[in-house]
Amino acid sequence: MSPRFFFRRTHAWCTAFIIGSLAACTNIQNDRTRTQTEGAVTGAAVGAAAGAGTTAAAGAAGAVAGGVAGAAYGNAVANQKAGYAAHESALDAQLSGLRQQIANLQEYNGGLRAMITSKEKQLATILASDRSAGPTVQEFDLRTTINTKLGEIDGRARSWQETIDAHKAVLQKATADPHSADLQKEIDELAEQRAEMLRQRTKLAAIPDKLKQ
């Protein structure tokens, strides 16, 4: 048997082997196992083809060597896939939690706006009443409730800033992730909601000052 004839026979066998074996790999349900098997199969076939131009023994040795190298490559790819999947899952959880935090802060800001409307009405009632005898019970209530709320807002502002900084720290470690842009967008939205809370604080703090009029 001439080397040329042997090479042709081996090349044909390798091609059939790759097609048949890779087709069988599609039936493997576990992604990691499938990736490892595909690497080993392809490596073995390529190794056999590389040695086919010399002797049958060389072809067999090439198949073994290629199989080992292919299995190692398949294992590396499988590990990489597993790492990406775990990272994406963690970032998805980060996004989910962040969106819930945004919703919570939006709801809190809605409550602040409602409180401001209520206190402005209370202020109007006080200013329309007889205040010649000195501060009234309503004035005391207005100042007290507003001061208490301002202290609460200040505490929340610090807490929300810490939360924003924590999300930014996660983003710095995930800049190459496809979901990093989504994370940045949600962080910006949370920061905007915090800024809105501080704008509402300014409006609320200005109400008692109108009692001096």
pLDDT value at residue 133: 82
pLDDT, position 179 = 87
How many other CB atoms sit within 10 Å of the CB of residue 203?
A: 13
pLDDT in tens, the chain (213 residues): 554 444 455 445 454 544 455 455 555 555 556 655 655 555 444 444 444 444 544 445 444 444 444 455 455 555 555 555 555 556 788 899 999 999 999 999 999 999 999 999 999 999 998 888 888 899 999 999 999 999 999 999 999 999 999 999 988 988 888 888 999 999 999 999 999 999 999 999 999 999 876
Query: In the chain, what are the domain boundaries?
Result: 3-83, 85-212
Residue 196: burial class (beta carbons within 10 Å; 0-12, 13-18, 19+)? middle
